């Protein structure tokens, strides 16, 4: 049993988990797999706050990294995890496959923390303007590049090939690292990295269709039930103030909804529970982004179907995520879901503030649910204009929606090599990722029955056969990259 900081990962979708953390602090969780060393060794690297300009005040800050040296006689590759949007311990504890590989391949394992998260804050007051302006993907990638150069010296590993890993947003960073710094990185495993959606190259609305499909695959009756629930809620609310009060009571909200705005807030909050459960639809109990049972989609679907009334059913279903401990007597939906520049919402705390800024600046995480007949959610738009207005008011800046597509355009993958893009068909993010081979050495692996970067988790007896095969392919390819880079 180990103390794990519960924190969002998974492409920001789980920002509300930060709020969740505030609700349930001092909880202990076991790390994913027994091969994960605990506590991790910790160190820091001096990094320039701004890698691309040369102001008179360009200061340095301390970027944190965790490490475990599993090399034999100081010989072996470097396995480098590209930290995502949260304190790095969460990723250390939920990427057991890397330690598994590192043990057999005798690697030096590094988990680098992303700037502006965890203990890697460039300024005392980092999360406000003008200090937050240096939080960008390119700056984070440059941190990792300089860190790799430094690590090779510090760990006497000048000739060690570097393999980068990452899941979700971290997977995007891993792929970009290989693309950007091929002289420093021999290959990348980018798990569940929604390259197309986040860079704005494809519309995002199929995300909610994918969440719906997860439930449909489990039991089509659940989709009918939830659709009914949303229709029934609409009818109730249209009856006026009494309707809102009745609905608030039936949903067991701590404070009743008072107006249409509260109602919309509640709808997004409820939608997000389904998003989270679809993402974390792992075959075993997991403490990564909430404390969820094995296959939470099935569990929540079963719970819904056990109720006669559709609204009761919806309440029970989302309780699997928002009241996993089953100790809360009511839902504080305004604390558990906070709207921001990310369609899946933001919670509270430093990590979600930083993520909100990132979503505002260069991510495309806006689109509507209920825009097609294929998703079970009510019509809840989030337009570029809404995001722009929000970001201008919140951070005083205008989003650069075209930035990632310009900087790392889709054709770029044809010009690189040694990247694995893995995606699971249970993961609603999968369709936003690279799902077909780009070339012989930039390949797409599909995990049948896999949720959000399941392949990065420690092998487990409950794993579907597909993820075992994919992990084996990943192992073989990584071994090949290392051999090739060592020649």
Please give the residue ranges that form the binding site for a copy of itself (CB under 8 A): 48, 50-58, 129-130, 132-136, 138-139, 142, 145-146, 149, 180-184, 357, 361-362, 395-397, 400, 402-403, 406-412, 414-417
Find, among 370, 466, 458, 480, the residue nearest to 34 by Cα. 458
State the Cα–Cα distance between residues 485 and 487, nearest whole angstrom.
Answer: 6
State the Cα–Cα distance between residues 67 and 473, nearest whole angstrom.
Answer: 25
> By C-beta, is 180 or 315 nearer to a copy of itself?
180
465 contacts 417 by C-beta, under 8 angstroms: no
Q: What is the DSSP string of 336-359?
A: H-B-SSSTT-B-SHHHHHHHHHHH
- E strand or H helix that includes residue 480: helix 465-486
- Rounded least distance, CB 411 to a copy of itself, Å: 4
State the Cα–Cα distance between residues 282 and 184, nearest whole angstrom.
Answer: 33
Instruction: Annotate 296-335 with b (16+ C-beta within 10 A) or e (fewer).
Output: bbbbbbbbbbebeebbbbbbbbbbbbbbbeeeeeebebbb
Annotated catalytic, 427? Answer: yes
State the Cα–Cα distance between residues 39 and 320, nearest whole angstrom.
Answer: 30
- Three-class DSSP category at 276: helix
> By C-beta, is 39 or 396 nearer to a copy of itself?
396
- Three-class DSSP category at 188: strand
Residue in 214, 367, 425, 427 annotated catalytic: 427
> By C-beta, is 200 or 296 nearer to a copy of itself?
200
State the Cα–Cα distance between residues 44 and 62, nearest whole angstrom.
Answer: 6
218 contacts 298 by C-beta, under 8 angstroms: yes
- E strand or H helix that includes residue 422: strand 419-424
> By C-beta, is 51 or 227 nearer to a copy of itself?
51
> By C-beta, is 4 or 142 nearer to a copy of itself?
142
Residue in 45, 126, 168, 324 annotated catalytic: 168
Q: What phi and psi, each to the nearest 5 degrees, are found at residue 384?
A: -55, -35
> By C-beta, is 287 or 359 nearer to a copy of itself?
359
In the numeric block, which tokens belong to residue 33? Answer: 């797999």
> By C-beta, is 62 or 152 nearer to a copy of itself?
152
In the numeric block, which tokens belong to residue 423? Answer: 């995606």
215 contacts 226 by C-beta, under 8 angstroms: yes
DSSP 3-state percent helix, strand, coil across the chain (nearest 5): 45, 15, 45
Annotated catalytic, 452? Answer: yes
- Residue given tokens 């310009």 in the structure block: 406
- Residue given tokens 């007949």 in the structure block: 373
> By C-beta, is 37 or 182 nearer to a copy of itself?
182
342 contacts 169 by C-beta, under 8 angstroms: no
CA quadruple 344, 323, 27, 336: dihedral positive or negative? positive
Find, among 284, 275, 289, 280, the residue nearest to 4 by Cα. 289
How many Cβ atoms from other residues are within 10 Å of residue 395's Cβ? 19
Pairing outcome for strands 419-424 and 442-447:
parallel
Residue in 114, 205, 452, 453 annotated catalytic: 452
> By C-beta, is 220 or 396 nearer to a copy of itself?
396
In the numeric block, which tokens belong to residue 151? Answer: 């690590």
Catalytic residue numbers read 168, 427, 452
């Amino acid at each position: 049993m180990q103390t794990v900081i519960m924190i969002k990962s998974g492409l920001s979708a789980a920002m509300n988990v930060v709020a969740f953390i505030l609700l349930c602090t001092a909880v202990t969780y076991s790390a994913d797999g027994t091969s994960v060393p605990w506590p991790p060794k910790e160190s820091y690297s001096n990094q320039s706050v701004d890698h691309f300009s040369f102001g008179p005040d360009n200061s340095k800050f301390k970027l944190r990294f965790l490490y475990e040296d599993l090399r034999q006689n100081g010989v072996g590759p470097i396995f480098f995890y590209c930290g995502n949007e949260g304190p790095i311990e969460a990723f250390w504890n939920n990427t057991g496959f890397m330690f598994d590989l590192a043990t057999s391949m005798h690697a030096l394992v590094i988990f680098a923390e992303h700037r502006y998260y965890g203990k890697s804050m460039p300024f005392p007051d980092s999360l406000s303007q003008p200090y937050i302006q240096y939080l960008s993907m390119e700056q984070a990638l440059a941190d990792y590049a300089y860190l790799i150069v430094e690590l090779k010296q510090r760990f006497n590993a000048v000739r060690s090939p570097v393999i980068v890993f990452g899941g979700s947003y971290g997977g995007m960073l891993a792929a970009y690292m290989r693309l950007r710094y091929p002289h420093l990185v021999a290959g990348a495993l980018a798990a569940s990295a929604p390259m197309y959606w986040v860079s704005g190259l494809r519309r995002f609305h199929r995300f909610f269709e994918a969440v719906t499909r997860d439930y449909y695959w489990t039991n089509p009756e659940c989709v009918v039930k939830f659709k009914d629930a949303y229709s029934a809620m609409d009818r109730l609310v249209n009856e006026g103030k009494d309707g809102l009060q009745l609905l608030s009571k039936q949903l067991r909200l701590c404070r009743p909804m008072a107006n249409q705005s509260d109602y919309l807030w509640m709808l997004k909050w409820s939608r997000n529970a389904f998003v989270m459960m679809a993402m974390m639809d792992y075959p075993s109990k997991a403490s990564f982004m909430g404390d969820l049972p094995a296959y939470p989609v099935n569990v929540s679907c079963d719970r819904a179907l056990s109720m006669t009334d559709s609204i009761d059913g919806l309440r029970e279903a989302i309780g699997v995520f928002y009241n996993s401990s089953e100790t809360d007597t009511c839902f504080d939906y305004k604390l558990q879901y906070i709207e921001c520049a990310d369609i899946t919402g933001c919670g509270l705390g430093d990590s979600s503030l930083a993520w909100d800024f990132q979503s505002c600046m260069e991510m495309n995480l806006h689109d509507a649910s209920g825009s097609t007949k294929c998703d079970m959610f009510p019509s809840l738009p989030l337009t570029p204009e809404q995001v722009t207005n929000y970001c201008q008011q919140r951070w005083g800046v205008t989003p650069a929606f075209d930035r990632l597509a310009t900087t790392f355009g889709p054709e770029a993958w044809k010009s690189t090599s040694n990247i694995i893009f893995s995606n699971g068909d249970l993961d609603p993010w999968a369709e936003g990722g690279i799902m077909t081979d780009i070339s012989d050495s930039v390949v797409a692996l599909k995990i049948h029955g896999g949720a959000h970067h399941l392949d990065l988790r420690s092998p487990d007896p409950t794993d579907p056969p597909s993820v075992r095969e994919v992990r084996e392919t990943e192992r073989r390819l990584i071994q090949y990259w290392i051999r090739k880079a060592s020649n």
